[in-house]
Amino acid sequence: MARKKNGSEKRTRNSDDASPSLGKKIQDWFSAFSQTMAWVTGRPGTFLLAISFIVVWAITGPIFGFSDTWQLVINTSTTIVTFLMVFLIQNTQYRDTMAVQLKLAEVILAMKGVPDQFATIEDLSDDELEALHDKCRKQAETTLDHLNRRKKKS
């Protein structure tokens, strides 16, 4: 066990502990599943399948007399699909955002003259972001004024 800053104990993985925890296995499975589902649901064939389901449902309306059960089928189906897709979309969006942030951080860290704080800017509080935004805007305005003065001189 290792100690956290606040004094509580944190379990660390021993080198002899070869099997990942159940939580890690579930996380890895969900990550792979959500990536696959994002790919599958984004395909034109999946869209056509959904349209076909709605067309079949609409055609069967007169057969079932537009009953409450008939309406309940589409309402329940769309609610369940929407509910599940929210989690898949959120997972995919989180992964994509994290990947973009990491790539940008790598570019920022590789550039000379750029403060390192920009590499972890997503970790700043709202007030810190606002202050940094104001600082950058003022710096951009100063640079623009300088460029405009140089243009007038030439």
Is the domain of 41 the same as that of 99? yes
Q: Is residue 45, in this structure, part of any structural domain at all?
A: yes
Is the domain of 32 the same as that of 95? yes
Whole-angstrom distance, CA of residue 13 vs CA of residue 117: 31
pLDDT at position 1 = 43
Q: Is residue 104, in this structure, part of any structural domain at all?
A: yes
Is the domain of 132 the same as that of 104? no
pLDDT at position 6 = 44
User: Has this prediction a pTM greater than 0.85?
Assistant: no
Number of domains in the chain: 2
Q: Is residue 7, in this structure, part of any structural domain at all?
A: no
Is the domain of 63 the same as that of 92? yes
pLDDT along the chain (154 residues), means of 10: 44 54 90 89 93 95 94 95 92 90 87 80 88 90 90 82
* 83-97 burial code (b ≥16 CB/10 A, e <16): eeeeebeebbeeeee
pLDDT at position 5 = 44
pLDDT at position 122 = 82
Is the domain of 65 the same as that of 85? yes
Whole-angstrom distance, CA of residue 35 vs CA of residue 99: 14
CA angle 71-72-77, nearest 5°? 110
Q: Is residue 119, in this structure, part of any structural domain at all?
A: no
